[in-house]
Amino acid sequence: MMQVPVKWSELCASDEFQGRWVALDGCRYDESTAKPLEGTLVDSDEDLVELCMRIRHKGGRECAILYIEEARRLSTPPPPSVRAMH
């Protein structure tokens, strides 16, 4: 099975990876910002130690391990309070 690179922006937009560490093989970075652009997804986990242990047990391949922050969700504001008018 051939693994194809996935864009960093797609990983960040996916609910599946919010708040998780991701391991990327062959990670490419933007030369001007040093931010990740894409890489082949190897594994992911909420726990960095667990992720590193699994990678080590799979043969210790070298990959970039990056954290995807949870997106701040726009919450719906509560309805205005209702006051009784007398």
Low pLDDT (below 50) residues in the chain: 1, 74-75
pTM here?
0.76
Predicted local confidence at residue 20, as pLDDT: 97
Predicted local confidence at residue 22, as pLDDT: 97
Rounded CA separation 47/9 (Å): 21
Q: What is the CA radius of gyration of the chain?
A: 19
- Cβ neighbors of 61 (< 8 A, separation 6 or more) are 25, 42, 55
Beta bridge partners of 22: 44, 66
Rounded CA separation 34/6 (Å): 17
Predicted local confidence at residue 1, as pLDDT: 44
Predicted local confidence at residue 72, as pLDDT: 61
Give domain limits for the chain.
Answer: 6-68
The answer to whether 44 and 14 are in contact (CB under 8 A) is no
Predicted local confidence at residue 53, as pLDDT: 95
